[in-house]
Structure 1
Amino acid sequence: MKSSSNNGESGRLSSENDEELPKMAISSFQTREEEIERKKMEVREKVEIQLGRAEEETRHLAQILEELEVLSDPMRKEVGIVRKRIDIVNRELKSLGQSSQKKEKEYKEALDAFNEKSREKDQLTTTLAMLVNESEKLRMKKLEELSKIMDPTD
């Protein structure tokens, strides 16, 4: 009988233990679930904070990029305009330089021709003066001869 009463007692202990184990397991499981849920919420909060920072940083970087584009566009346009103007002026300078060299060459040729003609004129003027002088001498001589012929007394 003892064995049956032991069995009965141990059956009760066993039944209490059988009920306590699942309660402890459920309680432990619930505690772990609550801990997991709490950690999950902490991680979610951290992620949301990081996302908020990342979004703010993205907006800030986008604003900086926009400001850079605004700054660079007018400068690019002005630089482009100035470069085009420089190209135009450079072509004009090249054309004017060629024209200037051509006209300078023509001027030198005209100046050389002018100087040559001036020398020729000077020579001709000198020759003319000599011829006129010679002609006057001959005419004077002839007049003197004619004068002697007319007035034999001299």
Structure 2
Amino acid sequence: MRAITVEVAGRPPTPNSRRDWHQTYRDNQIWKDRAWIAAMDALQRDLWPVQTTMLAGKRPEPRLIADKPMQFAALDVTIIVPDDRDRDLDNGIASLKPLIDGCVSARIVVDDSTRHLIEFRVRFVKQARVSKVLLRFDEQEQPGSLGL
């Protein structure tokens, strides 16, 4: 079974932050891109070697020699906060959407639906002067029928 941890510095804004829809869209794209970069770095560092291929008239593009993205995974998220303030759990979970989308774009896991992310845990941890999010994907066996 494979496992990979993606570390994203900072924390995305929560849904309660006061922004118009344009700014919300831009912020989500920025955080999705940050997560994609962190996920690609984690993939290249931890799992698969990198092979470069020359594309006609372009710079070499890194390609992953990937088995396949995880079909079924458990996601354990640690949100590291710099202070002791109480946090609203549902806002913390909602702010993770662009980060999870970035990891799906990096092909860590096939999809972020409940069919493929079969477990999801979130916790807040205090660490002085640090703000970041750790997303740990643990590959799982194919789950049994849920009977839904």
**TM-score band (shorter)?**
under 0.3
| Largest Rg, 1 or 2 | 1
TM score, norm. by length of structure 1: 0.19
Structure with greater helix percent? 1
TM-score, scaled relative to structure 2: 0.19
- Ranked by relative contact order (alpha carbons within 8 Å, sequence separation 6 or more), the top structure is 2
Higher strand share: 2
